[in-house]
């Protein structure tokens, strides 16, 4: 099993550093300022890439000294830095799992770009292997089928978000069940909750994102 972790340049306050450090010995790719963030916390990425417009000259020089593969991208390009990093992870490492940190929070347009990215043609085969992780959420992506969802530590809330038109979405054993839901527009069944440690869902057309969340403001039961 090859796990590749991407640290992209989102707000540091959204990055779960405790989780990152638990995986520090795995493969890492640093994207834009995410590369400097990794070095600051004792993690040397295998590759770094980005336009580095938020990296000062001293930090850039340090990156070049420490990391063997530094790829400086033009500011004007047809892909986001996160898309480039995900493409790089696939082409170089052929991973079984891609975890993306620093890809949420801050600008909404960048969040939406990351949320919709797994549905693009070049990433579609990896859709179920891409995960977004921040301090309060994990996001997984699913193609049609029947699935079990295992409750993560701390997480209480569970959302089922159809990112495309969806047919036949069933939530049989969540706190708020759903039977044979169809929609022609994106829709978020938010603030559902686990019943027990494992819940299930199924659907037969579309793409569904499943979000497990921790409410840091109000806490969890």
β-bridge pairing 157-162 and 187-193: antiparallel
Backbone φ, ψ for residue 58 (5° rounding): -65, -40
Q: Which CATH class is domain 3-135?
A: alpha beta
CA distance 82 to 90: 12
Tokens of 101: 């940190």
Show me where the domains of the chain are located.
3-135, 141-213
Task: Assign 221 a pLDDT band (cuts: 50, 70, 90).
Answer: very low
Q: Positive or negative, the Cα torsion across 61, 33, 95, 119? A: negative
pLDDT tens-digit readout, 38-64: 999 999 999 999 888 888 888 888 888
Structure tokens at 54: 């938020």
CATH fold match for the domains 3-135 and 141-213: yes
Q: Which CATH architecture has domain 141-213?
A: 3-Layer(aba) Sandwich (3.40)
Say if strands 27-31 and 137-142 run parallel, antiparallel, or are unpaired: unpaired
Nearest to 159 by CA among 195, 125, 209, 115: 209
By DSSP bridging, strand 137-142 and strand 208-213 are antiparallel
Report pLDDT digits (tens) over 104-158: 887 888 889 999 999 999 999 999 999 999 999 999 999 999 999 999 988 999 9
Per-position b or e across 78-100, b if 16+ CB within 10 A of its CB: eebbbbbbbbbbbeebebebbbb
Q: Is the pLDDT of residue 75 over 50?
A: yes
pLDDT at 6 over 60: yes
Q: Which two tokens stand for residue 114?
A: 């990351």
């Amino acid at each position: 099993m090859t796990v590749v972790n991407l640290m992209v340049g989102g707000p540091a306050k959204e990055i779960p550093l405790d989780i990152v450090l638990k995986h520090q010995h795995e493969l890492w790719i640093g994207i834009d300022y995410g590369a400097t963030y990794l070095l600051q916390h004792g993690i040397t990425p295998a590759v770094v890439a980005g336009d580095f417009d938020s990296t000062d000259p001293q930090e850039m020089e340090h990156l070049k000294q420490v990391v063997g593969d530094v790829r400086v991208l033009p500011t004007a390009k047809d892909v986001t830095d996160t898309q480039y990093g995900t493409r790089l992870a696939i082409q170089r490492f052929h991973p079984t799992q891609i975890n993306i940190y620093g890809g949420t929070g801050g600008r909404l347009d960048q969040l939406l770009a990351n949320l919709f990215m797994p549905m693009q043609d070049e990433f579609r085969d990896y859709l179920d292997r891409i995960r977004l992780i921040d301090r309060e959420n994990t996001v997984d992506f699913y193609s049609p089928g029947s699935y079990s969802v295992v409750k993560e530590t701390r997480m209480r809330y569970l959302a089922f978000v159809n990112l495309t038109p969806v047919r036949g979405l069933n939530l049989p054993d969540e706190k708020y069940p759903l039977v044979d839901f169809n929609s022609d527009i994106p829709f978020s069944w938010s603030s559902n909750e686990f019943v027990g440690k494992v819940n299930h869902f199924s659907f037969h057309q579309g793409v569904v994102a499943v979000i497990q969340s921790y409410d840091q403001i109000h806490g969890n039961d």
